[in-house]
Amino acid sequence: MRWGTLLRGWALAELGEVDRGIAQMQESLAAHRAIRQLIIFPYELGLLAATLAKAGRIDEGLAAVQEALAVVAATDQRFYEAELYRQRGEILLRGAGTPPEAEVCFRQALAVAGRQQAKSLELRAATSLARLWGEQGKGGEARDLLAPVYGWFTEGFETADVRAAKALLEALS
């Protein structure tokens, strides 16, 4: 039930009822904290962090992703670790930090995803870092980073992440 509340909140926020959605997500997380259920907590906090950042609540989003990374470290539940580092980098770019700080996060995300052989998360991290480098005038380096990760995919070309990577590669050419 608590998991459903969180997902319902996320869906509401995605559909435009941002404040109501965030409130439901926070309610679900509070219930999980109360019973110390931390199994999917990093994922849940990651959803909240991304939603808060989209809503312009940058400091709260950064706090949520930091909490998620602390839970990862404390529980050794690393399935979402790469995405959390990527999200932290994206939030830093929204005004909570600097491009060099974000780059460190994207590199951490790439390293974790590579160790875990989590190709989808590796693609997301590579896309974020390549986008940053492209904005910094490092188009060649960005292509060199993203092209082999994108090239690994032999299916799923209709997914948002693969489409985003392809569009970025085309823009960098």
- pTM comes to 0.93
CA pair distance 69, 85, nearest whole angstrom: 8
CA pair distance 86, 137, nearest whole angstrom: 21
Q: With cut-offs at 50, 70 and 90, classify the pLDDT of residue 104.
A: very high
CA distances from 93 to 15, 52, 132, 148, 166 (A): 24, 14, 9, 25, 22
Average pLDDT rounded to a whole number, residues 103-115: 98
Average pLDDT rounded to a whole number, residues 41-68: 94
pLDDT value at 1 more than 80: no
Cβ atoms of residues 168 and 134 within 8 Å = yes
CA pair distance 68, 43, nearest whole angstrom: 8
pLDDT at 133: 98
Pick from 116, 122, 42, 117: nearest CA to 84: 42
